Amino acid sequence: MHKYSIAFDFDGTIINVAHRDYAIYCKLVSDLSGLTLPFERYWSMRRARTDIHLILSQSGISEKNDVNTFLQQRAEMIEDEKYLALDTVIPGVKEAIMLNRTLFSPYLVTTRNYVERLYWQIGKLGLTTVFDNIIVARKQKTDAYSKVNHLKIIVGDTENDIDAANALCVVSIGVLSGIRNAATIQMFHPQFIADSVATIDFKHILMNIAGWIW
């Protein structure tokens, strides 16, 4: 009998992207002569799914041209190696996946424009041997998840991952280690919620959803 696969989102699920996100925000707000919000306030708003226009307004940036400049340049900078280098592996995540590899086949599914930079980052973070396969989405993440063989569970930190799981009729686990807080994640009704990948009881969940007998 084949092993089921679990697909993991990358940003916010495997790695902490808060410092990359905030550093880009600070650089662009400063360039536009705005006033940066403290990290705790900014990240709390981001995790609550606050509209970026409101965040920029509170940062002293409201002119349409300035907002457009911010959004365009942020999209260009988000995969710059200078900022990717600020990401770190969420504590215990690598160990949890490696420990449970006998139970399932781990896939990594992420949206990136520059695949070579993704592999550079994976290597830099010591994650090269963690996943059986890596699938990169350009736009539609559900299509990327659909390419995972024997997919049973999707683990992610945003509604994009939960919506993909629902569309593909597989189990969703929302984690609180990324860019959505508990209240926001709960709005999209994942079957399970965990603080991070490190705290997921994979064996228990697989036993419950697949009827496994150990």
pLDDT given for residue 213 in this prediction: 42
pLDDT for the residue 134: 97
Query: Which pLDDT score, from 0 to 100, does residue 214 have?
Result: 41
> What pLDDT score does 211 carry?
57
Using CA atoms of 51, 189, 132, 102 in order, give the dihedral in degrees to the nearest 10: 150
Residue from 149, 22, 16 nearest 77 by CA: 22
The phi, psi pair for 63, rounded to 5°, reads: -65, 135
3-state secondary structure (DSSP) of residue 151:
strand
Q: What is the 3-state secondary structure (H, E, C) of 93-115?
A: HHHHHHHCCCCCEEEEEEECCCH
What are the residue ranges of helices labelled H in 80-181? 81-84, 93-99, 115-124, 141-145, 159-168
Give the homologous superfamily in CATH for domain 5-16+88-210.
Answer: HAD superfamily/HAD-like (3.40.50.1000)
Q: What is the enclosing helix (H) or strand (E) of 15?
A: strand 15-16
- The one-digit pLDDT tens for each residue of the chain (214 residues) are 568 999 999 999 999 999 999 999 999 999 999 999 999 999 999 999 999 999 999 999 999 999 999 999 999 999 999 999 999 999 999 999 999 999 999 999 999 999 999 999 999 999 999 999 999 998 789 999 999 999 999 999 999 999 999 999 999 999 999 999 999 999 999 999 999 999 999 999 988 876 544 4
